Chain A
């Protein structure tokens, strides 16, 4: 059974930084693209970033380019999202998901709150 468990969320001030982690089990992690998707409180879903299985290719939504970095450690079955220069509008639940034809298996999410 595929399981994805996110951690690292919390309260941070505008301009601050946070690093999210996602540990995967039940899959051959290095074979899959992985993705981060976020959901602002009471709002819809927004794709944030993707990373190829070997980490060689990364894509980002325009609103986070230059501020967020997606990475992975296949030896630890782990996916990361380094978030810098955080803004109030980055407040959301952040989900990691495995990508096959698109996001298929999703984690439970971790809440990031950016507020002073």
Chain B
């Protein structure tokens, strides 16, 4: 199974400042079809998960452009350019190159 490791576990951020979350996979996420199926989810308190980014860097429908994804192979990053109050929650990376596994989550909170 592919293991996904996220850092940090918690990220206290000042409103309007950037935030960055890292995700590392235990093996390459490049699929035999050439795509890399790495996505990012946001889960606000008491809410279901919401897809933010798919295939490393593609924003899902309705996602603000302050969210961006990057990376390749086994190392990936989610960046929030300017954190807003509504961004508080837990963020998960997930891979669907080989079935589906999730990272352990990173809690974004306001300082």
Bound pair: A and B? yes
**How many B residues touch A, CB cutoff 8 Å?**
21
Identify which of residues 56-103 in chain A touch chain B, using a CB-to-CB cut-off of 8 Å: 59, 95, 99-103
Q: Contact: B92 with A44, CB < 8 Å?
A: yes
22 A–B contacts from the bound complex (CB under 8 Å)? A44-B102, A44-B103, A45-B92, A45-B94, A47-B99, A47-B100, A47-B101, A50-B99, A50-B100, A95-B49, A99-B96, A100-B54, A101-B54, A101-B55, A102-B39, A102-B51, A103-B49, A103-B94, A104-B54, A105-B51, A106-B50, A106-B51
Beta-carbon nearest neighbor of A107 in chain B: B48
Q: Contact: B100 with A102, CB < 8 Å?
A: yes
Report whether over half of chain A's contact residues are helix, strand or loop; otherwise say mixed: strand
What bracket does the count of chain A residues touching chain B fall in?
A: 20 to 34
Shortest Cβ distance from residue A102 to the other chain B in the assembled complex, whole angstroms: 4
The yes or no answer to B104 lying at the interface (CB within 8 A) is yes
Q: How far is the CA of A37 from the CA of B39 in the complex (A)?
A: 15
Q: Contact: B54 with A102, CB < 8 Å?
A: yes
B51: chain A residues within 8 A (beta carbon): 102-106
Beta-carbon nearest neighbor of A105 in chain B: B51
A59: chain B residues within 8 A (beta carbon): 99
Identify which of residues 43-85 in chain B touch chain A, using a CB-to-CB cut-off of 8 Å: 48-51, 54-55, 60
Q: Contact: B55 with A106, CB < 8 Å?
A: no
Q: Contact: B102 with A47, CB < 8 Å?
A: yes
Known: A45-B49, A95-B49, A108-B48. A102 touches B96 (CB 8 A): yes
